[in-house]
Each structure stands twice: as C-alpha cells, then as structure tokens.
Structure 1
Amino acid sequence: MFDALVIGAGPAGIIIAAALSDQGLRVQGLTATPLRATWPNTYGIWRDELEALGLEDLLGYAWENCVSYFSQGEVDHQRAYGLLDKTRLQNHFLTLCEQGQVDWREGMAQSIKHLADHSCVVTQAGEELVARVVIDATGHKPVFVEREYTYPIAYQAAYGVVGKFSKPPVEPGQSVLMDFRREHLTAADQAQNLPTFLYAMDFGEGVYFVEETSLAAAPAVSFEILQRRLNQRLAARGIEILEEHEIERCLFPMNLPLPSFDQAVVGFGGSASMVHPASGYSVGAQLRRATDLAQAIATALQNQQASPQQIAKAGWQGLWPKDRLRKYYLYRFGLEKLMRFDATQVNHHFESFFSLPQEQWAGFLADGMTPAELVFAMMRLFTIAPNDVRWGLMQFPGEEAPLFWKFLTV
C-alpha cells in the first residue's frame, strides 16, 4: 500500500508528488494522459519569485523591460518578468519524482471509497489503486474534491497567438504585462463594461506572443470576442499576422469557493482553489506551498491508526492555515470590487496599484504578505487612488460585505 496517491500529472500533480516523495513517502501517481505529454498553456512568473526558490533555471524567457499601459501612458515595472519553460519544468519535477521512486500509472480515475485505514481508487479500466491518502490535482474541475457553489463563478479568459507579424507588436526585448489602451475598439465595444488587455512579449528571432485577456467576468468573455479584439488591436497599428505557430486559449476560474476541509481527499492546485483571485497566477503558489502540504501529510501519516479523513484534514490545515484563509477572503473581496469597475476605473485602479512601493504590489501578487501587511497595502492604495476608485471601493452591493466579515472572523 502506498502512503499517498496523486491524481493528475499537470504542474500541480508533479510538484506535489515530488514534494511528498521528498518527505520519504511512498507515492503513486495516476495520469489520464501520457506522463510527458506537452502542456497546452504558458505560465508566467516574476523572475525574483523563482530566484527565491532557487529555480531560476526553469525560466524559458526573462525580460528586464516589462511595462504596462494604462490611461496615463507607459508604466515601467522595473522588475524582470519571465515565462516558465514548460518542458524544463516538467522534466525537473518528473526527475525528482523518479529519484523519489514515484510509481506513475496511466488511467482515468472513476470512483473512490474510503475505508478505516486507506482509500481505494478504481480506474475506468478496473484497476484498484490503494493508498492511505489521496491528493486530487486534476484542476479546477476535480475528479474527487467537492465544493459547494453558492455564487456565480468568474473566469479569466485569453486568446493568444505565437507567430510572426508584419511589424513588431512590442518593442524589441520587451514584455507587456497589461495594455489597456482601447482606442482601437468600436463604439459598441467601448460602450460595454468589458475591460480586456493585451499581454505580449518578444520571443526573439522575429517571433512574438500576443494575447488578448479579459479580467474576471461572469459569464466568461468568449474566445470569439477576444480574438476579434486582438485582431482589431493589431489592425489599428497596421500589424498583420504572417505566421501562426501556436494558438492559445485559456479559461480558468478566479473566485472558486474553498473546498470542504472535512472531506477525505486533499486537493492541490486548481482543485484546492489555489489560483490567486486577484492575479490568476497559480504555479508560483504551487511551488511555494507544496512543502507545507507534504509536511502536514507526512506528520499525519506517522499515526498508523489515522483514517484517510484525519490525514486529509491535516493536509487541508497545512495548505490553508488561518492566516492564508483570511488573505483568501480579502483577495476575493478585492476581486469583487474590480469586477464592478468600468474601463476608466480599471485603468485608474492599476495606475494606483503599480505606484505602490514594489515590495507591496509584488507581495500582493505573490500572496507573500501577512494579513496585516496586506491590509496596510490596501489602505495605502485607497489613500492614493483617485476619487472614482475610492467611491467604487466604498460600495458594498454584492458579496463584498460577507467576504469582509469572513476575513475578520475566520
């Protein structure tokens, strides 16, 4: 019998499998697709976040020149932004899994049952996999992790193209984090409260990545709208797409409710609501928090009489301690505010946000501050924001009040 069974072999699955094996646990993994299948999406991260973990070698690209465009023009972030090399990331953690003797199986999980001292997962092929605890890392539509949906889910969506263009869509050696300029939009588009922005970068050798991205929205902005807006943006600058090397379509939830912490399965990654509600980043959080979960599970497993539910509960507590829960509700509170802003308020908000000291806006995006530091940063943002943003922050028309109350009382 294995100590832990990890379901899923995306970034979350292989990261937590490696962390569990590093604790000396016997780990089995189950993947529905070939273990080394190429992941479809790109993963951005600030370079200093990887440097803090000693993992900067996993970057495929890094841009010292990282800028954004809001209503007042260009903002130089003075911080290097990067894209993870998906293959390098995958190989790195699969190598750690091999060193930890993780036993990977290919198959689709179909059912699970929990007994006194172990759980049993049955695959569609009828194979039974037995472990003392199961970790579900299958994304925001998990196989086994359960959560209660009590409000509409907001999604961030993006449509992107990697290819060659008639003119450079960004400056040489540059990455654009957010370009909210909207002069290219039709009058009908401008009348909609549907802020979207360009996310773009120079890959070198005449290859660029351009992506039209929506803020969180419920319902989600369609790929058709995003593709049309991207084409309008390029056309307004006299840019044609000459070669399409890759098309990216991303859709992921930003405000998933937390799962029940009493269930006998532990989540990690999207299944555990680890996507940052304000930024959409998740891989950095997985890299930073995997050890917390692995250590909590390893400690709980020392009790040979512990049930799967007891082990899972300890895992949930390690992944979501009280301080992190408080921050989750405060981030959700901020997201509710942002979703109600019109295009002008969105621009003013981000101009104010990125005028905060870098340690504050960087800590906010990385979930690296204590609750008290987070509150201080948000209060500072309120004091420097223009009146339209302040007025929006003072309104409580929807989920804001309950979320703020949970922040205070969790």
Structure 2
Amino acid sequence: MFDVLVIGGGPAALSMAAALCGAGLQVQGLAPHPPSAPWPNTYGIWEDELETLGLSHLLGHRWQNCVAYFGSQALALPRVYGLIDKAQLQDHLLAQCQRGGVVWHQGFADSLEHDSQQARVTTQAGAALNARVVVDASGHKPIFVRRPQAWPVAYQAAYGIVGRFSAPPVAPHQFVLMDYRSDHLSADQRHQPPTFLYAMDLGDGIFFVEETSLAHCPAISFKTLEQRLRQRLAWQQVQVTEVHHIEHCLFPMNLPLPCLDQPVVGFGGAASMVHPATGYTLGAMLRRAPTLAQGIATGLDTCTTPHAVAQAAWQALWPSDRLRKHYLYLFGLQALMTFDEARLRHFFNTFFHLPQGDWAGFLADTLAPAQLVRAMLRLFGRAPNDVRVGLMGAVGRHGHLLWRAIRSSP
C-alpha cells in the first residue's frame, strides 16, 4: 500500500511529493493533467531565500539593482532578487519524484472515504486509489480540505505584459519591486484603491511590467489593472511594440485556516499558506514541505489511523508559533487595506527603512514570533503620524486577530 496520495499537479503538489520521497515514503499522485505540463505563472523570490535551501541555481534571472518608489526618488533595496526558471524547478522536483518512485495518475478526484487503516479516493472515472493518508494540494479551492465559512476574502490581482517596448519602461538591468507613483492617474482614480508597478528588465530588449493590487475586497478587475498599466506607460511615453505573454494573476490573501482536526492534510493554497500580508507562497512551500513530510512520516510510524496521521501532519504544518505569526500577518493585511495611497507610501517607505533583517524576514515569514513583534513595534515607532493613526485604528477594528495571535489557536 502507498503511504501517501498527493492530489494536484502544480508547484505545491510537486514540492510535497518530492519532500515525501525525501522522507522515504511511498507516494502516488493524482492530477487533472500531466505533472510535466508547463506552469502558467511567473514566480519571483529573493535569492537568499533559495540559497538557504541550496536551490539558487534554479533562478533564471537575477537583479542586483533592486529599487522601490514611494515618492519621486528611487529607494535602493540592497538585496538580490530573482525570477525562478519555472521549467528548471519543475524538472528538479519531477526528478526527485522519479527517484522516489512516485506513481502519477491522471484524472479528477470525486470522493474520499476513510476506514481505520487507510483512505480511499475514487476518481470521476471510477478508479480507486488507496493510501494511508491523503494530502490535498489542489489549490485555493481544494477538493477535500474543509475550511470554516470565509469572512470577506481579499484578493491580490495583477495584469502583466512580457514583451518589447518603444523605450525601456524601467532602467536597464533594474528590478522594481513596487512603484507607487501615481502622476499618470486622474483625480478620480487617485481616490480609488491604489495599485503599484512591479517590473523588471529581462534582457535582450525584453521587459516584464505588471500593475498590481496588493489586496482588495472585492478583487480589482483585470480591465482596471490593464488600463492603469497602459496609462502608466503612456505617461512615460512608452508604447508596447511586441507582446510575448499576458499574465493574469489572482489569488486570495486571507482565506481562513483549514479545520485542523480533519482526516485529510492540506498543503499550499489548500492549507492557506499564502503570506497574508505579501502574497508570497513559493518560498514557503519549498521551506515547509520537508517539515510536513517529516511530520507525516512520524505520524505513519506512531499512529494507526489516517485521522491520527493527519493530526500529526497538521501539527507539523501549523504549530502554535506559526499560528501566532499568521494572525499577526492577517492583522497587518487588514490595516493596509484601509490605507489610501499616501498612507501606503508612507508605510512602505518606513518598512523598507527598517533593518534589512526585519523587512526581509517579514516578507519571507522566517522571523520567530518575538522577532516579528519587535519588528512591528519598531515600524510603529519610526512611522509618521498618519501611519500610526491608521495602525491604532486597525487595533480597534481588528483586535480580535491580535487576540488570536496571543491565544495561538485557529
């Protein structure tokens, strides 16, 4: 019998299957498409995050000239940013799966049953797949993972263009993490939810430019984002001359945590692993997959029922310290969503003037809870008054999230 059945075929499923193989488990996977099918989205990450995993060779592009704009002048970010070579990362994970003997099935999961010894997934075609525990890595709308009823869900949305332009939309060899300048917008547009430019020089005269909404409920439409991006380019007297790829990005930022007492395990979007305050996910999945895999392996050694194995796995994925941080990040997101453009610019200008260890650890979710609290207090102490007032107002409106962080329970 297989130890684990992984459902899904994207980055979360492949990183989980590879980590389970690394833990010495027998794994099978069920995906609606071949796991070698190309991934559609672009994945950016700071190089030092991959260096700690020994995976920096998977970067297809690197930028040392990294900046942000929260006013008229560029703020230098002294850190190397990169774009993942998607095909290379996918091949890397598939090779690990192949060495571990993963058996992949193609199809759609239909139902899940448990008995005292195993879990059984039946596909829509009628095939039965058995394993001692199931990991659902099927995305933000998981097939089997249960969540409490969602509060209003905020979405990060982006519209991007990869192509050639009549003039460089950003400086040569430059990466722009955030450009909140808004001279190109009308007076009415400046009273609407703010967006920013995320952009980079890909070399050979090719650039990637993307208009991004950090988080909003309801989601900012792709039509609005495209309009703002083209206005921004026109203000710079830049025209799109060749379109190589259009990117549409939309994902939830603040889905409730799954029910942590259920007999199926989640991972990636299915386990609400998106960083609530930034939207970063890939680095977290690569870092946390081995931890979850080891938790499952330990559970399989010490537990007899699928439900008990799942409990050990959920505890490994969402221990109390990580729950504390999750609710602190949710509080930060709720605060930022109430800020207008000027207050957001003031906030981020303060944030990126913190010690690099603070802002880098915040973005990557690698700070310990006490370190995260100290960084947040340091930001509050250094922030201008309008940001302080906004954060204090958020305590009144969303203090329950801080209380959950103290209780460290879902």
TM-score of the pair, normalised by structure 2: 0.98
Code of the aligned partner of 1:402: H
Distance (whole Å) between structure 1 residues aligned to residue 264 and residue 166 of structure 2: 51
1:249 alignment partner, SS class: strand
Distance (whole Å) between structure 1 residues aligned to residue 279 and residue 66 of structure 2: 18
Distance (whole Å) between structure 1 residues aligned to residue 42 and residue 394 of structure 2: 35
> Does the 8 A contact of 1:330 with 1:404 survive in 2?
yes
- Give the aligned partner of residue 80 of structure 1: 80
Distance (whole Å) between structure 2 residues aligned to residue 311 and residue 350 of structure 1: 42
Deviates more, 1:333-342 or 1:67-76: 67-76
Shift of 1:150: 3.8
Code of the aligned partner of 1:132: R
- Report 1:53-92 matches (<5 A): 53-71=53-71, 73-92=73-92
Q: Which one of the candidate residues 311, 329, 332 is aligned to 2:330? A: 332
Distance (whole Å) between structure 2 residues aligned to residue 75 and residue 215 of structure 1: 19
> Does the 8 A contact of 1:333 with 1:399 survive in 2?
no
> Does the 8 A contact of 2:214 with 2:278 survive in 1?
no
- Give the aligned partner of residue 236 of structure 1: 235
- Give the aligned partner of residue 295 of structure 1: 294
- Give the aligned partner of residue 211 of structure 1: 210
Shift of 1:397: 7.1
- Give the aligned partner of residue 134 of structure 1: 134
How many residues align? The count is: 408
- Give the aligned partner of residue 112 of structure 1: 112
Shift of 1:231: 0.4
- Give the aligned partner of residue 266 of structure 1: 265
Distance (whole Å) between structure 2 residues aligned to residue 343 and residue 15 of structure 1: 37
Shift of 1:308: 1.0
> Does the 8 A contact of 1:12 with 1:286 survive in 2?
yes
> Does the 8 A contact of 2:334 with 2:394 survive in 1?
no
2:87 alignment partner, SS class: helix
Code of the aligned partner of 2:102: V
1:302 alignment partner, SS class: helix
Distance (whole Å) between structure 2 residues aligned to residue 77 and residue 225 of structure 1: 29
Shift of 1:181: 0.3
- Give the aligned partner of residue 360 of structure 1: 358
> Does the 8 A contact of 2:72 with 2:181 survive in 1?
no
Deviations 1:120-160 (A, max 9, x none): 00111111100000000011111110101241000000000
Code of the aligned partner of 2:324: R
Deviations 1:281-319 (A, max 9, x none): 00100111111100010011013x621111111100000
Code of the aligned partner of 1:221: I
- Give the aligned partner of residue 382 of structure 1: 380
Distance (whole Å) between structure 1 residues aligned to residue 247 and residue 99 of structure 2: 33
1:208 alignment partner, SS class: strand
Deviations 1:27-62 (A, max 9, x none): 001111122111110011000110111100110111
- Report 1:3-402 matches (<5 A): 3-71=3-71, 73-192=73-192, 194-303=193-302, 306-396=304-394, 400-402=398-400
2:233 alignment partner, SS class: helix
Distance (whole Å) between structure 1 residues aligned to residue 23 and residue 293 of structure 2: 7
Distance (whole Å) between structure 1 residues aligned to residue 38 and residue 294 of structure 2: 29
Distance (whole Å) between structure 2 residues aligned to residue 84 and residue 256 of structure 1: 26
Deviates more, 1:51-60 or 1:66-75: 66-75
Distance (whole Å) between structure 2 residues aligned to residue 115 and residue 151 of structure 1: 33
Deviations 1:356-384 (A, max 9, x none): 00000000001111110000000000011
> Does the 8 A contact of 1:146 with 1:260 survive in 2?
yes
Code of the aligned partner of 1:174: Q
Shift of 1:72: 5.1
Tell me which stretches of 4 or more aligned residues in structure 1 moved more than 4 Å: none
Query: For residues 348 and 72 of structure 1, do their structure 2 counterparts lie closer, same or farther at Cα, with a shift above 3 Å needed?
Result: farther
Percent of pairs identical after alignment?
59
Shift of 1:115: 1.1
Code of the aligned partner of 1:125: A
2:210 alignment partner, SS class: strand
Code of the aligned partner of 2:320: K
> Does the 8 A contact of 2:114 with 2:306 survive in 1?
yes
> Does the 8 A contact of 2:150 with 2:255 survive in 1?
no
